[in-house]
Amino acid sequence: MGFMYRLLDCKMDVKSAFYLFSPVAGQFKYNSPAMTQSLEIYRQLYRIRRFEETVLDNFPKGLFYGTTHTYLGQEANAVGVLTHLQEDDIVFSNHRCHGHFLAYGGEMRVLFAELMGKSTGVCGGRGGSQHLQWRNFYSNGVQGGILPVATGMALAEKRKESAAITIAFLGDGTLGEGVLYESLNLASLWDAPILFVVENNLIAQTTPIELSLAGSITARFSAFDIPVTELDTSDVQEISEQAKLLLDETRFQGGPRALVLHTLRFGPHSKGDDTRDPELVAAFKRERDPVAIHAPRLDPESRAAIEAEVDLEVEFAFEKAMSDPYPEISGQWAVVSGQPSADVDLQSPTSNIQSTVLKSINNALHQTLSHDDRVLVIGEDILDPYGGAFKVTQGLSDAFPEQVLTTPISEAGIVGVAAGMALRGLRPVVEIMFGDFVTLIADQVINHVAKFRWMYNDQVRVPLVIRTPMGGRRGYGPTHSQTLEKLFLGVPGLRVLAPTALGNPGELLAQAIADDDPMFFVENKLLYLQKLQDEKSLTDFELQELSSAETYAPTYSLSIRRAPAPELTILAYGYMAELAREAVRQLAYAFEIFAELVVPTQLSPFDNEDVVASARRTHKVLVVEEGTLTLGWGAEILARLFESMGSELMQARRVAAREFPVPASGPLEETVLPGIDDIILSAREMMEN
């Protein structure tokens, strides 16, 4: 069957939609459906060409923000592959995304507007050239990071039993990123319906492939048992033909596929940064121009008509975008105070005071898994009978084998995959075995998970929870004992929660799972076996739940029963709140120093009000944390208190870990980590001053 006839099979919903709404639609008289396809393909190639030329021509005029990575010379790849898309299929693109976006069916005007930073842009001017989201099209500008996310999307669609498949684009330079290989492993292990398209243009920014790539490109995919096809052409027909076969295989047989396209970049990497010999680039243009290769297949009249129409479309789109307004930002970003999603049937996990923090969290996972099949628990070694390194997931995989997924040791890959699943409507809960390994997920959390909602102009949600045990005092040594949540405090779009033994930690987790925004849920290891505390069990204390912030994450206040009014505010979270409670008790009974202990369960974004209210009563604040002192949570809180209270805050101090890696030896660890005595000493010194 010839190429033209194969094309007849393809459904082009997105593009036909574009065509219907195009300002130049309906002006053609087509001879046959095959000819229609050929013309349409030329239109797509030429649209990308003209769009990108216009961008490069106008950049020096200062009309666009940031930078651009044009798709000149590579047009046949996007058009050849995406011509076979079905309506629900997903495309995840990279920094060089304009061609993919236009071939997906995106309008020129919104893309110009996005580059110009206008409110009518694809993402309202928030994303710019590299960060686009429209329908099932996504792009991000961090090399490699998109690949687990795209894999997760494919897996989500598979789980939902939709027919949608995912296509992810990457360049040859991105073959150097480790997270790609985590993604290929997961995609192959879990049979993700995804096509990886490598566009090998022989150069990454200014680094030629000889300096960046060892070994074979195709062998990289074969090593993971991913069938791979290689093409060295700029002919859209050849690419389209192969892509159709691979996409059909992915769609109907399942599992990942790879297409390696050897291609050539005609323009600079971004704007004025082409380090290649101009003669070489000129030769590329002479010999491998996708537009020139396809053009002779059209009769000259139709071709001229298409070109005239596209030229008009470019002009019209550019002018419209130029006259569009700029966006504005007003107020705070809403994720400061999260609320559980309305479409989640939130069953409050029961809290039993005989229970421990661990049982409470485990119980919440049981209940959410049983009530909502969108909830998945994903992590390393979490299956029964082992049930996770700290046993938090014990019993889950026996009860919900389909919803509990054990993974390879691939922290970034797991979080990326879960992010993709969350973007497509699932509610994954990822366990990172030790909090120390969150360093490996930083790119996923900071550049993907936390950014997606805002960067994509509020068009998406990422209901993802990342749980992890943090902290020392178990003798695990420098890489298994740290308190690293400060790395994620103040990341816009991410909420950091830390349960304590107070109240119902399981309920806090259930609410986090029901929330539409991403959560980082920090569980201190030493809290796991602590009994839950309530007013009855805390015989010495009055316990109050403060509720000035509009969030389900409570802040607690503890003060000694029937004691004089507190003269000092102590602020602590997680396991440090347990130590601080004992310190408050001893301060009262041994030294007649009365303190109010304030215990937040939401660390970031942090709502000051409850602490300020307490500090206005005591004028003295001591902040306790298990992480290192410098630039920590306590520094931020005290800065905020000074900003709100000025000289009304008479004394402020921090108790935190000393600036060492956490040692394994017990006595050394005790010296480095803050303890009850440190809190008492600081409190006494403050009161003596």
Ligand X SMILES: Cc1ncc(C[n+]2csc(CCOP(=O)(O)OP(=O)(O)O)c2C)c(N)n1
Residue nearest to ligand X (CB): 171
3-class secondary-structure state, position 341 = coil
Nearer to ligand X, 98 or 654 (CB): 98
CB of 220 to ligand X, least distance (A): 14
- Alpha-carbon distance of 107 to 25, in angstroms, equals 13
3-class secondary-structure state, position 23 = coil
CB of 192 to ligand X, least distance (A): 21
Q: Which stretch binds ligand X (CB under 6 A): 85-93, 135-143, 380-388, 401-409?
A: 135-143
CB of 564 to ligand X, least distance (A): 57
654 forms part of the interface with ligand X (CB under 6 A):
no
- Alpha-carbon distance of 71 to 102, in angstroms, equals 11
Query: 492 and 479 in contact (C-beta within 8 Å)?
Result: no
Q: Tell me which of 78, 164, 168, 204 binds ligand X, using CB under 6 A.
A: 204
Query: 338 and 330 in contact (C-beta within 8 Å)?
Result: no
Cis peptide before 661 (omega within 30 of 0): no
Q: Which stretch binds ligand X (CB under 6 A): 58-66, 138-146, 187-195, 230-238?
A: 138-146
List the x/- string, 265-304, binding to ligand X by CB under 6 A.
----x-----------------------------------
Beta bridge partners of 543: 558
140 forms part of the interface with ligand X (CB under 6 A):
no
Q: Which stretch binds ligand X (CB under 6 A): 169-177, 370-378, 577-585, 663-671?
A: 169-177
Nearer to ligand X, 130 or 407 (CB): 130
128 forms part of the interface with ligand X (CB under 6 A):
no
- Alpha-carbon distance of 24 to 602, in angstroms, equals 53
Q: Which stretch binds ligand X (CB under 6 A): 81-89, 140-148, 471-479, 610-618?
A: 140-148
Nearer to ligand X, 173 or 388 (CB): 173
360 forms part of the interface with ligand X (CB under 6 A):
no
Task: Tell me which residue of 604, 559, 593, 555 sits closest to 679, measured CA to CA.
Answer: 593
Beta bridge partners of 90: 166
Q: Tell me which of 99, 152, 171, 435 binds ligand X, using CB under 6 A.
A: 171
142 forms part of the interface with ligand X (CB under 6 A):
yes
Nearer to ligand X, 135 or 271 (CB): 271
Nearer to ligand X, 231 or 382 (CB): 231
- Alpha-carbon distance of 486 to 496, in angstroms, equals 9
Q: Tell me which of 84, 95, 288, 320 binds ligand X, using CB under 6 A.
A: 95
Q: Which stretch binds ligand X (CB under 6 A): 203-211, 332-340, 410-418, 429-437?
A: 203-211
| Terminal-to-terminal C-alpha distance of the chain | 90
Nearer to ligand X, 67 or 351 (CB): 67
Task: Tell me which residue of 616, 598, 605, 606 sits closest to 546, measured CA to CA.
Answer: 598
CB of 637 to ligand X, least distance (A): 33
Query: 542 and 595 in contact (C-beta within 8 Å)?
Result: no
553 forms part of the interface with ligand X (CB under 6 A):
no
Half-sphere exposure of 316 (CA within 13 A, CB side): 12
Q: Tell me which of 6, 47, 49, 96 binds ligand X, using CB under 6 A.
A: 96
Query: 271 and 56 in contact (C-beta within 8 Å)?
Result: yes
Residues 212-271 that bind ligand X (CB under 6 A): 269
Strand locations in 386-540 (E): 404-406, 427-431, 465-470, 495-497, 519-524
Q: Which stretch binds ligand X (CB under 6 A): 76-84, 155-163, 201-209, 299-307?
A: 201-209
Nearer to ligand X, 132 or 298 (CB): 132
Task: Tell me which residue of 477, 549, 490 sits closest to 520, measured CA to CA.
Answer: 490
Q: Tell me which of 80, 105, 121, 173 binds ligand X, using CB under 6 A.
A: 173
141 forms part of the interface with ligand X (CB under 6 A):
yes
Which residue in the block uniquely carries the two structure tokens 């950014």?
Answer: 451
Helices (H) and strands (E) in the chain, counts: 24, 22
The stretches of 63-170 forming alpha helices (DSSP H) are 75-82, 98-104, 108-115, 146-159
Nearer to ligand X, 383 or 446 (CB): 446
Residues 57-86 that bind ligand X (CB under 6 A): 69
Q: Tell me which of 119, 205, 337, 459 binds ligand X, using CB under 6 A.
A: 205
Written as six digits, the tokens of 593 are: 């120093």
CB of 107 to ligand X, least distance (A): 23
201 forms part of the interface with ligand X (CB under 6 A):
yes
Which residue in the block uniquely carries the two structure tokens 């096509």?
Answer: 195
Distances from the Cα of 467 to the Cα of 328, 432, 433, 464, 628, angstroms = 35, 6, 9, 10, 21
CB of 144 to ligand X, least distance (A): 6
CB of 104 to ligand X, least distance (A): 17
CB of 206 to ligand X, least distance (A): 9
168 forms part of the interface with ligand X (CB under 6 A):
no
Tell me how many residues contact ligand X (CB under 6 A).
Answer: 15
CB of 442 to ligand X, least distance (A): 12
Segment (H or E) for 292: helix 290-294
Q: Tell me which of 172, 313, 431, 578 binds ligand X, using CB under 6 A.
A: 172
143 forms part of the interface with ligand X (CB under 6 A):
yes
Q: Which long-range contacts (CB under 8 A, 24 or more apart) does 490-493 make?
A: 490/604, 490/605, 490/636, 491/445, 491/446, 491/450, 491/604, 492/333, 492/335, 492/450, 492/451, 492/454, 493/333, 493/335, 493/449, 493/450, 493/451, 493/452, 493/453, 493/454, 493/517, 493/518
CB of 177 to ligand X, least distance (A): 6
Residues 6 or more apart from 392 whose CB is under 8 A from it? 358, 361, 362, 365, 431, 467, 469, 523, 528
CB of 258 to ligand X, least distance (A): 15
Written as six digits, the tokens of 368 are: 């959410």
DSSP 449: I
Q: Which stretch binds ligand X (CB under 6 A): 165-173, 470-478, 550-558, 618-626?
A: 165-173
CB of 98 to ligand X, least distance (A): 11
Written as six digits, the tokens of 393 are: 């997931």
Strand locations in 420-482 (E): 427-431, 465-470
Written as six digits, the tokens of 82 are: 């995406």
Q: Which residues bind ligand X (CB under 6 A)?
A: 69, 95-96, 141-143, 171-174, 201, 203-205, 269
